[in-house]
């Protein structure tokens, strides 16, 4: 933990993680210790219901914890910083929602709304694998990330930097990304890609473990591949190697650009551990520039699990308002 956050003054913060399928929320103290977590609720299908669900969660937590000093939200999609306006979220119904403004109006509490991967990155920086210069790559249904430079989250001019899922790595490939472009990292390196690779491998080997576990080649998911790989199935391990190949290219590019000392790999797919990390490290050393002449950064698994999003959002809210970062540049600081 970094010295500048050692002012533990007993303040509490509400954190929310609004994902494509579920909303997680709870309360932490300034050290990130969980004071309360509420049961996860499914993300509603329309905007009004989503905003209602969010305000019910926040009001409930606020009423039970009078010491709440701030609210932080991590939301999937493109989130304008520092306004906390959600421009668009491919897997959610809402568009152009001024969420920060709405929550500050209804609660009277200082609020931050940031991208969910930034929030998870901040949780990892504060409480997990941490370095002053680090990148956080989350490999789940999609691929996202966050970047800490000189102990500050880097957000770019308007908050939408580090869309590493849309880093172009294979423009002559055949997989079209959800964003419409061919060549993005995400359709080659996500959990969904792992399922697609696994399906093809199962179709080529109908009596193999992948097809058997899934109940047919077209039912193979990323989870099936991870389970088969854990059981030692070579075909499944080969698919994780393909994923790791692309993620290693992504990690090498981040290191080449930003000279970071640590790359943390999180998200559900990364829970297979070395089965994914070993191929990432191997591809990384092949593609990072000047490997023989630099101290190579560590590529490590995330220490925080699926709760990183809401915990990180809650910490961001406390850190941001304590440090007065909102008085600085539009998209700088924590």
Binding site for Zn ion (CB under 5 A): 166, 177, 179, 181, 184
Cβ at position 88, least distance to Zn ion in Å = 13
Cβ at position 146, least distance to Zn ion in Å = 17
Compare residues 181 and 285 and give the one whose CB is closer to Zn ion. 181
Compare residues 247 and 314 and give the one whose CB is closer to Zn ion. 247
Cβ at position 247, least distance to Zn ion in Å = 15
User: Which residues, including other chains, have CB under 8 Å from residue 135's CB and lie 6 or more apart?
Assistant: 121, 145, 146, 147, 148, 162, 164, 251, 254, 255, 258, 260, 262, 263, 264
Residue 98 CB neighbour total at 10 angstroms = 15
Cβ at position 250, least distance to Zn ion in Å = 12
Compare residues 78 and 227 and give the one whose CB is closer to Zn ion. 78
Q: Which two tokens stand for residue 34?
A: 């969980």
Compare residues 185 and 229 and give the one whose CB is closer to Zn ion. 185
Compare residues 85 and 166 and give the one whose CB is closer to Zn ion. 166
Give backbone dihedrals phi and psi of 320, rounded to 5 degrees, phi first.
-65, -50
Rounded CA-CA distance 204/200 in Å is: 6
Cβ at position 185, least distance to Zn ion in Å = 8
Compare residues 179 and 257 and give the one whose CB is closer to Zn ion. 179
Q: Which two tokens stand for residue 60?
A: 């409930």
Strands 95-97 and 22-29: unpaired
Q: Which two tokens stand for residue 195?
A: 């399922």
Cβ at position 144, least distance to Zn ion in Å = 11
Q: Which two tokens stand for residue 242?
A: 């393909």
Asked if residue 49 lies in contact with residue 57, where contact means CB atoms within 8 angstroms, the answer is no
Rounded CA-CA distance 190/61 in Å is: 34
Compare residues 12 and 162 and give the one whose CB is closer to Zn ion. 162
Classify the phi-psi angles of 96: left when phi > 0, otherwise alpha if psi is within -120 to 50, otherwise beta: left
Strands 134-139 and 262-266: parallel
């Amino acid at each position: 933990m970094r010295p500048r956050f050692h002012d533990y003054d007993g303040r509490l913060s509400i954190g929310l993680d609004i994902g494509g399928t579920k909303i997680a929320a709870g309360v932490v103290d300034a050290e990130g210790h969980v004071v309360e977590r509420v049961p996860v609720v499914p993300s509603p299908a329309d905007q009004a219901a989503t905003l209602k669900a969010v305000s019910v969660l926040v009001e409930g937590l606020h009423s039970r914890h009078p010491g709440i000093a701030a609210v932080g939200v991590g939301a999937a999609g493109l989130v304008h910083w520092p306004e906390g306006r959600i421009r668009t979220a491919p897997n959610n119904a809402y568009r152009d929602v001024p969420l920060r403004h709405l929550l500050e109006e209804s609660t009277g509490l200082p609020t931050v709304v940031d991208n969910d991967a930034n929030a998870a990155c901040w949780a990892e920086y504060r409480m997990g694998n941490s370095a002053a210069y680090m990148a956080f790559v989350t490999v789940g249904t999609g691929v996202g990330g966050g970047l800490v430079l000189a102990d500050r989250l880097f957000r770019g001019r308007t908050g939408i930097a580090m869309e590493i899922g849309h880093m172009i790595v294979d423009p002559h490939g055949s997989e079209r990304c959800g964003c419409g472009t061919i060549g993005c990292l995400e359709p080659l390196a996500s959990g969904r890609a792992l399922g697609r690779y696994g399906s093809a491998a199962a179709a080529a080997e109908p009596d193999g473990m992948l097809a058997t576990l899934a109940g047919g080649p077209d039912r193979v998911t990323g989870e099936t591949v991870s389970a088969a790989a854990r059981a030692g199935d070579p075909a499944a391990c080969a698919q994780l190697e393909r994923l790791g190949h692309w993620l290693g290219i992504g990690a090498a590019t981040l290191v080449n650009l930003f000279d970071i000392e640590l790359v943390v790999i999180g998200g559900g797919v990364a829970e297979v551990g070395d089965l994914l990390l070993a191929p990432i490290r191997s591809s990384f050393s092949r593609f990072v520039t000047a490997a023989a002449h630099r101290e190579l950064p560590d590529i490590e698994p995330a220490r925080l699990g699926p709760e990183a999003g809401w915990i990180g959002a809650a910490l961001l809210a406390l850190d941001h308002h304590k440090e007065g970062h909102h008085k600085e540049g539009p998209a700088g600081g924590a």
